Amino acid sequence: MDFDESGHLSDGSGTPAVERRRPGRTDDESTTLLPLLRGEIETSAVEAPPITPAQDRKPTACAACQRPSTIPALSMAFQPIVDLQEQRIDAHEALVRGVNGEGAATMLKWATGDNLYAFDQACRVKAIELAAGLGIDRNLNINFLPNAVYEPRACIKATLAAAARTGFNPRRLTFEIVETEPIDTAHLQNIITAYRTMGFRVALDDFGSGYSGLLRLATLKPDIIKVDRALIQDCDHNATKLAIVASIIALGREIAVKVVIEGVERLGEVEALRSAGARFMQGFYFAKPAFESLLGETQINGLEPLAVLS
């Protein structure tokens, strides 16, 4: 996630060689996407758990869509997530910016009240349109605000339409859960189940801080967890932090959840994290978010792209 110019909320900033698939998940789960994009079936035909009474009290998707919006024009910066085992970029995370490069903190002031739904939708669409226009050939991570999703099967329509319009493969999408306030667990599970049915991956952001802890991991069972910068900072000088991170990495391997280390800023942290078994990392050490641009492997500090990847 990204709440300031560094790409992180408060500070500004092993797994096998082939990513392990969650038990029971198959490529067939994403076959719903093509007919959805072609308009052969309605999103309402995609099965999802019944909406709980708590969700019934939320405004309907149609009501949210019809509300007048006053959000300003926005753009995106992209920060790479690197795979140190393969020495390549694994994904790009889209981080909201103003059209003149204004930071996320400035733009997120608009994500309140009646603007929440429109802001979330605008961010998703802009991220896909811009990434596709830049020729992205890796996975794309998009942050989403769970309280802005009233009914996941309806709220995903603009995202699918943007993917179809730009020729972007929606199977490359990962949605990062951003929890800046308490979220009804049943509502969040409903979103995750619907997204998985459509073939998307879901990441739990800022793991190890705030609302994102072990209980959330056990309850939501995400595909990816992103370890918060608070646990990473100076881990090369803090044996307790490093032991905790190593345990998270081992846990991820055990339950087939991909672990991404975010907020990595120094070589000492990189070396310590690699010794703890970390494979996927993100942070200023490798690259700062690039405004309206996608970086390549040769532009990433600490990567030595292999001549031939097996």
- In three-state secondary structure terms, 20 is coil
Q: Are 75 and 104 in contact (CB under 8 A)?
A: no
**DSSP E strands: which ranges in the chain?**
74-83, 88-98, 139-144, 173-177, 201-207, 224-227, 258-262, 280-282, 290-291
Which residues pair with residue 80 across a beta bridge?
A: 92
User: Which domains are delineated in the chain?
Assistant: 51-295 (3.20.20.450)
Q: How far is CA 274 from CA 13, 48, 270, in A?
A: 20, 39, 6
Instruction: Write down the pTM of the prediction.
Output: 0.78
Cα-trace Rg, the chain: 19
Provide the residue-wise pLDDT of the chain in tens; the chain has 310 residues: 554 444 444 334 443 333 333 333 434 433 444 444 344 444 334 343 343 333 443 444 455 555 556 788 999 999 999 999 999 999 999 999 999 999 999 998 888 878 889 999 999 999 999 999 999 999 999 998 888 888 888 889 999 999 999 999 999 999 998 876 677 888 889 999 999 999 999 999 988 776 667 888 998 899 999 999 999 999 999 999 999 999 999 999 999 999 999 999 999 999 999 999 999 999 999 999 999 999 999 999 998 865 433 3
Please tell me the distance from the alpha carbon of residue 6 to that of residue 211, in angstroms, as a whole number: 21
